[in-house]
Each structure stands twice: as structure tokens, then as C-alpha cells.
């Protein structure tokens, strides 16, 4: 059996019979309705596509079973004190104290306390030179750094994954040092552009980012009590990222000279629970196609039925004589 005969036999079971062109009538109302239906179908299609692209976030709480011994701290803060006067230490629960000043980059800056926005370098060429020197790890002029009056500390620290206290203090105050910072220079006004634990993931909120604290006297202490929650982030492609998120409460206290150590203190504890955050699509691509076909087909059939019903009601069931004009003309020709 040839392919042509097979096609002819298939025509006998056609479930979608066609109406002859001579028996079809097009009208202005039908054309306008077609445009409106097409517009509505386009909007419905875009709405369905938007729903298909939505990502659902699922949270699962588990006991932290990780055996990591190290943790990464990311810090980017600007303090209203000269760089040569600042010191950074970490004291952990085991009693180990580590000096980390050299593990961070300290760049002379000018402090702006108007808004807690990202740091913008100044335009003075003299200062720009010192900033470039410090950023590249080279020696810079300490007199110019003192003249600028502020310091930007940024970088990542690898610390022991135990409860610890991160201290930002000044020379000669709290830790033994050959230098002693003048009391007139003590000013721990600071802006935190970033403070996080571990790597970033989408939609992560770090409470201390873009925050600012103002010191009104030379002897003040700023304390942040932080609860770190180990977090496992799984994206929709099943890529796994081990990181952390945290909650924080802060306190601020003024005191008299010699009563305590002025500075900024981040005290963090590691919580014994962990959070698993996973992303999934709300519906599969096949589900999206099925819903889209149902919307388009159902809308076309429903609107067509309503149009015929309204047209029948308006005409009283009478057929339009123009519908058979072409057939009558053909019969006259015979």
C-alpha cells in the first residue's frame, strides 16, 4: 500500500473536519473578538511562564554533624581612626589568642558617617597614592594615613570553628604593644559594609551589612553578640554550598578612662543545629506545557461558544443570507 493511499484512508477518520471557505463568514465583530482573545491568551501565557520560573525555597533543620575545624569570616569595615593605630585579634574558647592584623588589608580612608553605604575613595591625588600603596601591600606614609583620619579594614580570615571573640582595638589599649595610641585619636565610630561567615549564596541577608555606629567619646565599647548557624545551600541544579548565616544583638557602652578596653568586639557562638536550604521549581516543564495547552484550548472553545450563543440571541436564530451568496451565484452559473 502506497503512502498516498494510506493518507487517503486516514482522511476518513479525520476528527477535525474542515468547513469549506464558501461556507465561512468573517465579520468585524469576529475580528475584534479574535484580537481581544489573542491579547488575553498572551497575558495568560506570560502569567503561566512567570509561575513556571518561580523558585520555591524549602528549609530543613538538622543537627550539625559537620566536622569542620576552620571557618571563614569576611569583613569590610571603615573605622574613624588611623590605620597604624588599629589591631585585630581573635580569642577563642580554648584560650588561644591570634593576632590577625596582618591577615587583613588596612587602607587609609576618609570616614563618612552620613549614610551607611559602600565605601567611596576620595579624589585627593595625595590620598589616592597612599590608598594604592596600602592596597598593594606596600609601605605607605603613616603621617598621611594619620591625616586622613580613618581606616578601611577588609579581607577574609580563617579562624577556628569554635566560640570566639574578634577584637578590633588600638595599640597600647588591651594588648601589649611598643606603641601607645593617644587618647585624642581614640574614636571607634565605624561603618560595616560587610560582615559574614563563609561564602555568599543568593538572597543571603547579613544583619550587620551597611550598618553604622557613632562614638561620641574617646572611651566607648561596641559589642556584637552573634549566633552563627551552619547552613547548607542546595540550588535547583543540586550544587551544594556549605556556608553560615547569623543573628546578632548589639550593645554600646561609655566608660571612664582605665575601666575597660575601648574597641569593637564581635563575640560569636556556633549553634549546634544547621539549616538546609534547597531550591526547586514549583512545577516541571511538562506540567507547564500541559497547563498552557489547557488554557489556550479551553479559552478558544469557551469564547467561540459564547460568541455563537450571543450571536444566536441577537439574530433570533436566523441565518445570515450572505452566508450562502457564493453558493447561489455558482448555481445560477449552472
- What is the torsion angle, in degrees rounded to the nearest 10, for the CA atoms of residue 325, residue 330, residue 332 and residue 334? -170
Q: How far apart are CA 298 and CA 316, in angstroms?
A: 27
DSSP string, 46-78: HHHHHHHH-EEEEEEEEE------EEEEEEEEE
pLDDT digits (tens, 9 = 90+) for 185-198: 788 889 998 999 98
Which grid coordinates are listed for 239? 550544587
Q: Is 247's pLDDT higher than 70? A: yes
Q: How far apart are CA 334 and CA 326, in angstroms?
A: 13
pTM of the model: 0.63
Q: What per-residue confidence (pLDDT) applies to 267? A: 94
Q: How far apart are CA 22 and CA 327, in angstroms?
A: 7
pLDDT digits (tens, 9 = 90+) for 265-320: 999 998 888 888 887 777 777 887 888 888 888 887 887 787 778 777 777 666 55
Helix (H) or strand (E) holding 214: none
Domains defined along the chain, listed by start:
60-281 (2.60.470)
Q: How far apart are CA 245 and CA 202, in angstroms?
A: 12
Which grid coordinates are listed for 267? 563575640
pLDDT digits (tens, 9 = 90+) for 95-129: 788 888 888 988 888 777 544 543 333 444 444 44
Amino acid at each position: 500500500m502506497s503512502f498516498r493511499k494510506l493518507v487517503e484512508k486516514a482522511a476518513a477518520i479525520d476528527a477535525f473536519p474542515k468547513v469549506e471557505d464558501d461556507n465561512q463568514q468573517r465579520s468585524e465583530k469576529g475580528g475584534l473578538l479574535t484580537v481581544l482573545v489573542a491579547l488575553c491568551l498572551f497575558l495568560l501565557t506570560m502569567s503561566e511562564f512567570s509561575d513556571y520560573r518561580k523558585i520555591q525555597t524549602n528549609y530543613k533543620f538538622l543537627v550539625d554533624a559537620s566536622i569542620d575545624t576552620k571557618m571563614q569570616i569576611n569583613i569590610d569595615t571603615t573605622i574613624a581612626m588611623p590605620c597604624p593605630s588599629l589591631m585585630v585579634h581573635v580569642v577563642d574558647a580554648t584560650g588561644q589568642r591570634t593576632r590577625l592584623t596582618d591577615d587583613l588589608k588596612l587602607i587609609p580612608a576618609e570616614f563618612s558617617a552620613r549614610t551607611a553605604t559602600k565605601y567611596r575613595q576620595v579624589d585627593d591625588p595625595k590620598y589616592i597614592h597612599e590608598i594604592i600603596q596600602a592596597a598593594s601591600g606596600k609601605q605607605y606614609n603613616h603621617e598621611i594615613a594619620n591625616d586622613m583620619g580613618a581606616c578601611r579594614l577588609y579581607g577574609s580570615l580563617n579562624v577556628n570553628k569554635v566560640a570566639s571573640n574578634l577584637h578590633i582595638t588600638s595599640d597600647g589599649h588591651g594588648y601589649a604593644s611598643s606603641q601607645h595610641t593617644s587618647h585624642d585619636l581614640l574614636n571607634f565610630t565605624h561603618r560595616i559594609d560587610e560582615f559574614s561567615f563563609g561564602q555568599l549564596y543568593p538572597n543571603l541577608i547579613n544583619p550587620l551589612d551597611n550598618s553604622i555606629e557613632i562614638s561620641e567619646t574617646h572611651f566607648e565599647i561596641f559589642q556584637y553578640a552573634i549566633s552563627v548557624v551552619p547552613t547548607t545551600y542546595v540550588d535547583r541544579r543540586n550544587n551544594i554550598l556549605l556556608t553560615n548565616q547569623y543573628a546578632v544583638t548589639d550593645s554600646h557602652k561609655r566608660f571612664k578612662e582605665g575601666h575597660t578596653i575601648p574597641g569593637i568586639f564581635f563575640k560569636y557562638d556556633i549553634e549546634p543545629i544547621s539549616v538546609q536550604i534547597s531550591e526547586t521549581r514549583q512545577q516541571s516543564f511538562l506540567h507547564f506545557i500541559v497547563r498552557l495547552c489547557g488554557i489556550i484550548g479551553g479559552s478558544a472553545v469557551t469564547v467561540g461558544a459564547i460568541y455563537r450563543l450571543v450571536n444566536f440571541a441577537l439574530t433570533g436564530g436566523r441565518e445570515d443570507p450572505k452566508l450562502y451568496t457564493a453558493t447561489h451565484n455558482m448555481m445560477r452559473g449552472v
